[in-house]
Amino acid sequence: MIKNILQFSHQLLADAVQVGETVIDATCGNGNDTIFLSNLVGDSGTVLAFDIQKQAIDSTKRRLIDEARQNVKLIHDGHERVTTYLLKEQKHGIAGAIFNLGYLPRSDKTIITKSESTLQAIQQILDYLKTNGVVVIVIYYGHEGGLEEKENVITFVKQLDQSAYHVLRYEFINQKNNPPFVVAIQKRKEKLNK
């Protein structure tokens, strides 16, 4: 079967990430991707999981306790401040990251991710990404404000240098009600001018 959005997102990360590496959940939400990443990097790896909403951090914390995962650093802060939490030594060492853009499921739909901070976070993580590392962005855009963020993210990723990054769009195009789709960025190599 053709993989759905969740399956494909996780497959991309599983293909790029090795046990022991460091990965980022830029929007931990209810913790589903955090748990997935935690298992992916194993006890010797690290997950940095961000969310601006305390409700999301609390919800993810409970999931981590329930599943006895101890390799996750939960960070109650905006993901646009991600580099504050990374060491210089981690430059070119982040193996993967995932964003779920939109609002926290089963929560206040007016609290949403926004282009400016989203793009700042993506750019920062790209700078820290290892060669062949991947940033997966799941774009929900059916909510108010979602379309603008979608357009801004697409504009940003389209201009990424094709010799430095592969940028893939994976989308089901015959579904109603603005279903989410995936944008995946894979670093091909470091630019020579860095």
Number of residues that bind its own copies (CB under 8 A): 28
Distance CA 72, CA 86 (A): 14
Query: Pick from 44, 89, 110, 176: which binds its own copies (CB under 8 A)?
Result: 176
**What is the SS3 assignment for 88?**
helix
Distance CA 9, CA 19 (A): 18
Q: What are phi and psi of 40, to 5 degrees?
A: -65, -45
Q: Which is nearer to its own copies, 47 or 135 (CB)?
A: 135
- Per CB under 8 A, the segment of 18-26, 28-36, 54-62, 179-187 that binds its own copies is 179-187
Considering the complex, what minimum distance in angstroms separates the CB of residue 170 from its own copies?
6
For position 134 contacting its own copies by CB under 8 A, the verdict is yes
Give the pairing type, strands 181-187 and 129-139.
antiparallel
Site for its own copies in 145-174 (CB under 8 A): 154, 157-162, 165-174
- Per CB under 8 A, the segment of 41-49, 55-63, 121-129, 176-184 that binds its own copies is 176-184
Tokens matching residue 112 = 């949403």
DSSP 72: E
For position 68 contacting its own copies by CB under 8 A, the verdict is no
CB 185, CB 167: distance < 8 Å: yes
Q: Which is nearer to its own copies, 97 or 183 (CB)?
A: 183
Residue type, 3: K
User: Interface residues with its own copies (CB under 8 A)?
Assistant: 1-2, 12, 15, 132, 134, 154, 157-162, 165-176, 183-184, 186
